[in-house]
Chain A
Amino acid sequence: KQEVTQIPAALSVPEGENLVLNCSFTDSAIYNLQWFRQDPGKGLTSLLLIQSSQREQTSGRLNASLDKSSGRSTLYIAASQPGDSATYLCAVFSGSARQLTFGSGTQLTVLP
């Protein structure tokens, strides 16, 4: 059974810092990996989707990498802003089921 772990569970940084969020998964036979953002009381917003054949994806200040063989992904946020404060979730799509398996998330606070 696929398991996804995110470290750290919570992170607080001053505005302007670059930061890295980590995600690991136990079964490397994945189709793709996706990073989401969740604001309090809101649904999930997709940030980046990396196909299994890709090594990284970039969108603005966000960069996500994927090392499928080691079962790891990182989300890099450059020049963090208070508006980046949210919970970041990593999810993998794997196996024959059409379902996403999520980690528990990293709660990020960017202090002004």
Chain B
Amino acid sequence: GAGVSQSPRYKVAKRGQDVALRCDPISGHVSLFWYQQALGQGPEFLTYFQNEAQLDKSGLPSDRFFAERPEGSVSTLKIQRTQQEDSAVYLCASSLTTGFSYNEQFFGPGTRLTVL
């Protein structure tokens, strides 16, 4: 596709439910990032993949959060036993290469999660 896509765009979950958020990066992009954006705040880093390898998950707020990218393209962010504080917009971004020399990150539209 032309850009990063995410689905669903909106998700409402009851507290305690599990949710799965999907990200389709730009074709051929090696790096994939997940960010969490609370209302009125800037995005905060959650995790980073290089191809299928999860190289950094230091931003995941608890062990209820789990991300995978099994074939090095599509990624899924799973949140188990959702809580109200998980309500936020979850943004996915991809970039072309992997080196420390920075490559521009391209962002998807995000998934707005509301936990009731």
> Shortest Cβ distance from B1 into chain A, in angstroms?
14
Contact B56 A43 (CB under 8 A): no
Chain B interface mostly: loop
Binary interface encoding of chain B residues 23-62 relative to chain A, with 1 for a CB under 8 A from any of its CBs, else 0: 0000000010101000011111100100000011011000
Number of interface residues of A (CB under 8 A): 27
> Shortest Cβ distance from B112 into chain A, in angstroms?
8
12 contacts between A and B (CB under 8 A): A36-B107, A43-B107, A43-B108, A43-B109, A44-B93, A49-B102, A96-B100, A98-B98, A99-B45, A100-B35, A105-B41, A105-B42
* Chain B residues at the A interface, C-beta cutoff of 8 Å: 4, 31, 33, 35, 40-45, 48, 55-56, 58-59, 91, 93, 98, 100-102, 104-110, 112
